[in-house]
């Protein structure tokens, strides 16, 4: 079973050129934050372009359980009437965050400095993921957590009745950890400081500023030092969520490896803390251009145009770029399978604790599909083979396990579009967590995706 729905085996058949315009949905990271900060402000926040994937819907439901009023008005259009900083009510039900690490971790931070208790759970994937990285810093505020061994879900947090502000250096590059501490700091008196050695996505900081919090970021020898003054009154906002670069990655990468393709992916956020994949693809020699560069809602935005790129070369992906493309390594490994030579991906230990162990999941599927892959604890290499007439390319002809991980499922389905033989996934259900229109959108560009019941037809 997928998080909230039935198992959906799917097959991707080799297809002709992908062409047209791919309007991908709203940014998942920004959507979660818009709902959470809307719930923490006093008055009505209006949101358009909200991602209506299951992960975000679970966060919307959680905000209701804590007392906010969340209303759906039409596609992507939502309002949140918040309860104010420190105004969360104790939920009378278990908070089920489904597949979403971002949802559960940010919400645990948000409630940890209020004198209430809440119990959190998720699906089989989320309940395996490490939560001590969140509950450890929350304990410094005075919150108490009781979970399963290894700090895993289901777990109960009792928030601090008299929270103290915290100065915390994140032990791993994680926007979720940083954000959980900042959101907890909202209801602590005085200044909460988070220091991160490597910059991770900064949507929480940008949005807190937008909602009227006093927050500064300083680049120092220690790293990025983010200082938040607690107990502000957050003012409701009107938020237009930009389209998700992590979803754009799929049609962009598909176009690069399917012969003859030319795809436009409009309105994609190029926040430097998120855009690493696109620069990496350009470094590999991809025909990927940024058109109509502009600024929207304080974020750099462009229309991406991706064309079939038969002459890509494997590169050493700069490890310092990892945080800005952390969710994109699975689909990058698929592109790497069609690029000449070796693509080296280092400094990516965090990939082992995502919705699945993404190095293991991709390495085993790619090997089965005929692609040489080597891996170690925090690195992996993919040796590519560009298609040259009847030679080269990727054999395919396999069924891969998606391990309840949307990005693994989508990556293997993209592989099937350019491989010699179809590629199947055991379960495409998790795709609905982040990219519910993936099947129709890719089909509209020319992909041949079928649910397995239809695959034999």
327 is catalytic: yes
Q: Nearest to residue 349, comparing CAs of 174, 127, 195?
A: 174
Of the candidate spans 74-82, 172-180, 235-243, 386-394, the one that interacts with ligand S3P by CB under 6 A turns out to be 172-180
- The contact mask relative to ligand S3P for 77-106 (x = CB under 6 A, - = no) is -------------------------x----
Please identify, using beta-carbon distances, which residue of 178 and 305 lies nearer to ligand S3P.
Answer: 178
Q: Should residue 174 be labelled a site residue for ligand S3P when binding is judged by CB under 6 A?
A: yes
Beta strands (DSSP E) in 256-348 are: 262-269, 287-296, 299-307, 316-317, 341-346
- Residue 323: CB minimum distance to ligand S3P, A: 7
Q: Residue 402 gets which letter from DSSP?
A: -
Give, as ranges, the residues between 21 and 40 that touch ligand S3P (CB under 6 A).
29
Write out the binding residues for ligand S3P, residues 379-438 only, by CB under 6 A: none
Catalytic entry in 327, 375, 405, 427: 327
206 lies in the site for ligand S3P, by CB under 6 A: no
301 to 330, contacts with ligand S3P by CB under 6 A?
Answer: 326-327
Quick one: which segment of 171-179, 189-197, 234-242, 290-298 binds ligand S3P (CB under 6 A)?
A: 171-179
Reported as type and span, the H/E element at residue 407 is: helix 406-418
Smallest separation (angstroms) from ligand S3P to the CB of 246: 7
Specify the 3-state DSSP secondary structure of 194: strand
Closer CB to ligand S3P, residue 130 or residue 376? 130
* Residue 343 in the binding site for ligand S3P (CB under 6 A): no
135 three-class SS: helix
Nearest to ligand S3P of 174, 402 (CB atom): 174
The binder of ligand S3P chosen from 18, 175, 263, 312 (CB under 6 A): 175
Pick the closest to residue 164 from 133, 205, 135, 193 (CA basis): 193
Least separation, in Å, of the C-beta of 403 and ligand S3P? 15
Which span sits near ligand S3P by CB under 6 A: 115-123, 174-182, 259-267, 329-337? 174-182
Interacting residue with ligand S3P among 299, 350, 378, 448 (CB under 6 A): 350
Cα 130 to Cα 94, 134, 135, distances in angstroms: 19, 8, 10
Q: Which of 91, 139, 92 is nearest to 113 (CA)?
A: 139
Q: Roughly what angle, to the nearest 10 degrees, separates helices 276-283 and 245-257?
A: 20
**Gyration radius from the chain CA atoms:** 21
Those residues whose C-beta lies under 8 Å from the C-beta of residue 112, and which sit 6 or more positions away, are 138, 141, 143, 157, 159, 160, 163, 180, 184
Kindly tell me which of 166 and 398 has the beta carbon lying closer to ligand S3P. Answer: 166
| Choice between 133 and 305, CB closer to ligand S3P | 133
To ligand S3P, the closest distance from the beta carbon of 69 in angstroms equals 24
The residue among 179 and 356 lying less far from ligand S3P, judged by its C-beta, is 179
Q: Which residues contact 57 (CB under 8 A, 6 or more apart)?
A: none
The single residue among 11, 176, 237, 343 that binds ligand S3P, judged by CB under 6 A, is 176
From residue 337, alpha-carbon distances to 73, 101, 256, 261 in Å are: 43, 29, 12, 17
Neighbouring CB atoms inside 10 A of 143's CB total 24
350 or 426: CB nearest ligand S3P: 350
**Where in 101-130 is the site for ligand S3P (CB under 6 A)?**
102
Quote the least distance from Cβ 125 to ligand S3P, whole Å. 13
Residues in binding contact with ligand S3P, number by CB under 6 A: 10
Q: What number of other Cβ atoms are within 10 A of residue 214's Cβ?
A: 12
**20 to each of 17, 212, 261, how far by Cα in Å?**
10, 40, 9
Q: In whole angstroms, what is the distance from residue 325 CA to residue 358 CA?
A: 13
- CB atoms near residue 283 (< 10 Å): 15
| Least distance to ligand S3P, CB of residue 174, Å | 3
* From 175-183, 314-322, 337-345, 439-447, span contacting ligand S3P (CB under 6 A): 175-183
> Is residue 41 near ligand S3P by the rule CB under 6 A?
no
**201 touches ligand S3P by CB under 6 A:** yes
- Cα 115–116–121 angle (5° rounding)? 140
Q: Which residues are catalytic?
A: 327
Q: Which residues bind ligand S3P (CB under 6 A)?
A: 29, 102, 174-176, 179, 201, 326-327, 350
């Amino acid at each position: 079973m997928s998080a909230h729905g039935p198992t959906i085996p799917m097959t991707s058949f080799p297809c002709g050129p992908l062409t047209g315009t791919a309007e991908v949905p709203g940014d998942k990271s920004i959507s979660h934050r818009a709902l959470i900060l809307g719930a923490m402000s006093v008055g009505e926040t209006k949101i358009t372009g909200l991602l209506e994937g299951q992960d975000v819907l679970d966060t919307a439901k959680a905000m209701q359980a804590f007392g906010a009023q969340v209303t759906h008005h039409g596609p992507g259009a939502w309002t949140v009437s918040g309860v104010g900083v420190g105004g969360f009510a104790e939920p009378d039900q278990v908070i089920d965050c489904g597949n979403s690490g971002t949802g559960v971790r940010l919400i645990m931070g948000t409630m940890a400095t209020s004198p209430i208790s809440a119990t959190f759970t998720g699906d089989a994937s989320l309940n395996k993921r490490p939560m001590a990285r969140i509950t450890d810093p929350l304990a410094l505020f005075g919150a108490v957590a009781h979970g399963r061994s290894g700090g895993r879900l289901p777990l109960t947090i009792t928030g601090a009745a008299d929270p103290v502000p915290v100065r915390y250096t994140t032990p791993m590059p994680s926007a979720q950890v940083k954000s959980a501490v900042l959101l907890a700091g909202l209801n602590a008196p005085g200044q909460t400081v988070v220091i991160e050695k490597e910059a991770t996505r900064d949507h929480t900081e940008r949005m807190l500023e937008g909602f009227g919090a006093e927050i500064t970021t300083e680049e120092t020898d220690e790293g990025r030092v983010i200082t938040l003054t607690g107990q502000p009154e957050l003012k409701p906002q009107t938020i237009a969520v930009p389209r998700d670069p992590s979803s754009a990655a799929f049609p962009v990468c598909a176009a690069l490896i399917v012969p003859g393709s030319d795809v436009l992916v409009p309105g994609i956020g190029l926040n430097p803390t998120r855009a690493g994949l696109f620069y990496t693809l350009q470094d590999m020699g991809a025909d990927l251009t940024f058109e109509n560069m502009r600024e929207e809602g304080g974020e750099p935005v462009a229309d991406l145009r991706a064309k079939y790129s038969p002459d890509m070369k494997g590169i050493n992906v700069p490890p310092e770029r990892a945080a800005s493309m952390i969710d994109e390594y699975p689909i990058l490994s698929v592109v790497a399978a069609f690029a000449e030579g070796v693509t080296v991906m280092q400094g990516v230990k965090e990939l082992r604790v995502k919705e699945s162990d993404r190095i293991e999941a991709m390495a085993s599927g790619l090997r089965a599909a005929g692609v040489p892959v080597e891996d170690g604890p925090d690195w992996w290499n993919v040796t590519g083979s560009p298609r040259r007439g009847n030679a080269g390319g990727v054999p395919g002809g396999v069924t891969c396990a998606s391990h309840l991980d949307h990005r693994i499922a989508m990556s293997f389905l993209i592989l099937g579009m350019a491989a010699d033989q179809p590629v199947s996934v055991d379960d495409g259900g998790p795709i609905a967590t982040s990219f519910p229109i993936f099947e129709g959108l890719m089909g509209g560009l020319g992909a041949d995706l079928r649910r397995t019941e239809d695959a034999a037809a």
